[in-house]
Every structure is written in structure tokens, then in C-alpha cells.
Amino acid sequence: MKSTLKKLQSIQGALRFHELSFIVLIVMTALMSFNWALAWQKSSEESLRLSTINTHVQHLRGDLYRQLKEVFDVVFLDDALAEGEYYQFRRQIDDYLYQLKILVKTPAEEVLIARIEHSYDRFYQETSRFLVADELNIEDVQWLDEQLEQQTFRQLEMVFTDLENYLQQQQQQLTDSEERMFGKMLLSEALPVFLALMLLSISKWFVRKNMLAPLRDVTKGAKIISTGDFNHHIPLTGVDELQRLSQAINTMADGLANSRDKLIETKKQAALGELVPLVAHNIRNPLAGIRAAAQVSIDVADAASRLVLKDIIIAVDRLENWVTSLLIYLHPLKPHFMPTTLPALVDNALSLITLQLKEKNIQLIRRGWEMKTLHQLAVDMSLMEQALFNLIQNAIEASPDGADIEIEYWQTEQQAGLLIDDQGAGFVDQKLSDRSQLHKKLNCGLGIPFAEKVIKQHHGELLFSNHRYGGARVTLSLPVEQAASAQQETVC
């Protein structure tokens, strides 16, 4: 049933359904016409049969009266030809009886014909003896004059009357049946017309709902997409062909949107590629001089000056990290996989920002480090530590003083990952789809994109979300199997 309905949801299936419907309609009309013609033919044959029976009965009745007349001609007029006529009528009456036996179909008709035959046999036996008698007595003459008419012939008339009444009744029933049949015929002839109108209505509804309306949506959607709105998707409605066309246009729009994003990213990369090396060169030389001067001066400075010089060194190191991140982000990453665990990588990254945690009085809470068996992952330790450093530093900068940052390690048979929760303002919701425009930026806005790039190189996934009551969550996951296969490739 489902496969049949599915076939109807295509243009070819719909056309075949309509063709089949019209063929069924034509066949139905032809069969109905044939049935009514056959019914009329049977009715006409029955009417003709009853009329033929009635005609034979009337002829038989007339010949019976003539045969009786010949009896009187023989007895009272001594007509020499009357005897031959008598027997001639006998043969004709026998022939009519034979024809009637052939025409009868019902048991009632057989009974009536049998009664006529029986009564006529009695009449013949009672009258034929007068033709062979040499001389008639007074009793015979009196019987002919009274008893034959009052008894035998009256019985024949009663049988004839019963048969005539029966034929009239049958003819009336046949007439009533024809009238009813004519009424039904009018109703049945209207049925194909009704079915044709209903099929036309269904066809119009089907074409309008599954073809015209979806086709308008496709045309409208194509115009919208042609203006550059690649996020517009055409609804997948209508017959299968239109659904496939809509899906193809949607896929094309997604591809164009992806290509546009890649083109924009490429343009950004090209612009940064031209700008960053120049900026890095012009910044690194002064930074190196500033850091060297501060490092030399710190040994001979007083306590207050040492604090200032430490801040200068930290700021210089941070600027150096920014420049390094910019340069690394602009060039393809080439991971060198080594076996390690995520908690070990986190510990190495945290060792670089201990001072920042103390400055903001942030308490770092680690969960999952107590697991007995940790998955060994094949990762590029330098790149992954820098990615984790960027993510954790982003959480530190987003968190207020005295807040908590929770880092939870989790693992399953297929994956291992981290949950990094802070108590900051969270990400701006409308910007979550654009990683380079996150609310809290790190390293000139390239900390998060750099981390995503590293995680992607390791076939992992990086997700960003906001807590319901404040704060942000970063979810990092790495597939254990893919990481293990990467490790094997590195070893080979």
C-alpha cells in the first residue's frame, strides 16, 4: 500500500493513475451498457415468449370450437366432410400443444398446459366416439346438447381462463420490471458522469496541490536564491520530481553559501597574509629590545620597580604570543602525532597561566583526573597545548575576579574530551555561528579559530554554548579510534 502511494507521488505515476482511471471508466460504461442491453434483450424475449404462448392458446381455443362444430355437423347434419375436418383440427391442436410445451419455462406454466392437454384429451375421447357410431340414441343426442357444453367444455374454458390470467399477470410483472429497470438505467447512466466529474475534481486538486503550488515555490525560491540569499531553502513538497528539483536547488544554494564563506575566508587569509608578516617584523624587534632591557634592569631594581618590570615582561610575552599565533594561523598546520593524554596536555597548558589565575583570584577545579585508566591519544602535543591554552585563557579573561573555572575530563569507548565551564558573560548568541567574532576574543580574535583548526586536524569537534543561568561552556571531543589510527600512521 505504501509503495503504491509512493508511486502516485510522481508525475509518471499520476499520469498512469489518470489513464487507468479513464480506462476503468470506459470499461465500466461499456459493461453497464452491455448489461442493460442484455437485460432489455431478455425482457424482450420474455415478452415475445408470453405473446407467442397467448397466440398459440388463442389458436388452440379457436380450433377447439371449430372441432366441436364438426362434431355437430356429423351428428345433426350428416356432413360427410365434417369427419375429416374434425381430425384435421385434432392434428393442429396437438401441434399447438407441442409448441406450448416447448415454450413453457416455469412449473406453473407446465401445470397449466398439462391441464389444457388433460381437458382436451377428455373432450376428444367424449366426442370422437360419435364419429364412429352407426346410430345415436336419444341419450347421446341429449348428452351432446347439454352435458358436453355444461361440463367438459366449461372445464376447458376454466383452464383457458386460468392460463390467460396467468399470462396477463406475467406480462404485467414484466412491464413493471421494465419500468423499474428503466429507472435504474437512468441512475446507472448518471454514475459514469458522476465518476468523471469526481475524477476531474481530484485531478485538478492533485495538480494544484502537488504540481502547481510546489512549482510556484520552486520558482520563487530560485529567484530568492539568485539574489544571494543562500540560506533560503525551498520546501520539499509536491511530486517526487519537484521534490528532487527542490532538493537539488537547496543543495546548490548550500554549496554556493559554503563556497562564498570559503572565498571570504580566503580573502581574509590573503589580507592577513600580506599584513601580518609586516606587522610582526615591525613589532618583534622593538619587543625583543624592550624585554631584554627589562630583564637586565630587574636584577638591579628595587622592589617596586621589579613589579613594574615583571608586568612589562608579561605584556611583552603576551604580545609575542599574539604575533606567533597570527603567523601560525596563516600557514597550514602539519601535526606531528605523539601518544599522550588530555589531562597531561591540560596540565602543561595551565603551567603557563598560573600567574594569571593568581592575579584574578580564580580557582581552577579539575574533574576526571582521578580516573585509573586514561585513553592514550595520538596528538601533536605543541599544537594541542597551544589550542588548550587559548581556550582556557579565553575562559580566564571572560571570568570575573574570584570566579571558578571547571575543567572536566570524560571518556567513552569511542571518544575522549573536555568540558570547560566559566562564570563569565557567555557568548553572544547571534555570533555563535561565526567563531572569529566571539564575544571574548583572544590573540587578536584568532584564539578560537586557531583552536578549531587544531581540533579539526585531529578529526575532533569543538562546540560552544551558554549556561542557562550565566557562563559559557566549551565542549571538546576527540575520536579515540581515529586518533589511534593517526598514531599508527605516524609510527609507520
Q: Are residues 326 and 340 in the same domain?
A: no
The pLDDT of residue 443 is 38
Q: Are residues 157 and 246 in the same domain?
A: no
The pLDDT of residue 116 is 87
The pLDDT of residue 410 is 94
Q: Are residues 403 and 348 in the same domain?
A: yes
Q: Is residue 177 part of a domain?
A: yes
Q: Is residue 221 part of a domain?
A: no
Q: Is residue 214 part of a domain?
A: no
Q: What is the CATH number of the domain that holds 472?
A: 3.30.565.10
Q: Are residues 204 and 256 in the same domain?
A: no
Q: Is residue 243 part of a domain?
A: yes
How many domains is the chain partitioned into structurally?
A: 3
Q: What is the CATH number of the domain that holds 131?
A: 1.20.1330
The 3-class secondary structure across the chain, one letter per residue, is: CHHHHHHHCCHHHHHHHHHHHHHHHHHHHHHHHHHHHHHHHHHHHHHHHHHHHHHHHHHHHHHHHHHHHHHHHHHHCCCCCHHHHHHHHHHHHHHHHHHHHHHCCCHHHHHHHHHHHHHHHHHHHHHHHHHHCCCCCHHHHHHHHHHHHHHHHHHHHHHHHHHHHHHHHHHHHHHHHHHHHHHHHHHHHHHHHHHHHHHHHHHHHHHHHHHHHHHHHHHHHHHHHHCCCCCCCCCCCCCHHHHHHHHHHHHHHHHHHHHHHHHHHHHHHHHHHHHHHHHHHHHHHHHHHHHHHHHHHCCCCCHHHHHHHHHHHHHHHHHHHHHHHHHHHCCCCCCCCEEECHHHHHHHHHCCCHHHHHHCCCEEEEECCCCCCCCCEEECHHHHHHHHHHHHHHHHHHCCCCCEEEEEEEECCCEEEEEEECCCCCCCHHHCCCHHHCCCCCCCCCHHHHHHHHHHHCCCEEEEEECCCCCEEEEEEEEHHHHHHHHHHHHC
Q: Are residues 305 and 359 in the same domain?
A: no
Q: Are residues 175 and 27 in the same domain?
A: yes
Q: Is residue 222 part of a domain?
A: no
Q: Are residues 327 and 340 in the same domain?
A: no
Q: Are residues 361 and 455 in the same domain?
A: yes
Q: Is residue 82 part of a domain?
A: yes
Last residue of a domain, one of 331, 357, 382: 331
The pLDDT of residue 332 is 58
Last residue of a domain, one of 175, 209, 243: 209
Q: Are residues 235 and 183 in the same domain?
A: no
Residue type, 320: E
- Full DSSP string of 107-157: HHHHHHHHHHHHHHHHHHHHHHHHHH-SS--HHHHHIIIIIIIIIIHHHHH
Last residue of a domain, one of 331, 346, 367: 331
Torsion of CA 288, 292, 294, 296, to 10 degrees: 180
Q: Are residues 352 and 309 in the same domain?
A: no
Strand partners, 364: 405
Q: Is residue 445 part of a domain?
A: yes
Q: Is residue 301 part of a domain?
A: yes
Inter-axis angle of helices 82-103 and 11-76, to 10 degrees? 160
Q: Are residues 150 and 22 in the same domain?
A: yes
Q: What is the pTM of this model?
A: 0.41
Domain residues for the domain of 318 are: 229-331
Averages of pLDDT over each 10 residues, the chain, 492 residues = 56 71 77 77 86 90 84 75 87 91 89 87 79 65 62 75 88 83 72 75 77 83 84 82 83 83 71 64 73 75 77 74 63 73 88 80 90 87 84 88 91 91 75 42 56 85 84 90 49 42
Alpha-carbon span 151 to 119, nearest angstrom: 11
Q: Are residues 468 and 390 in the same domain?
A: yes
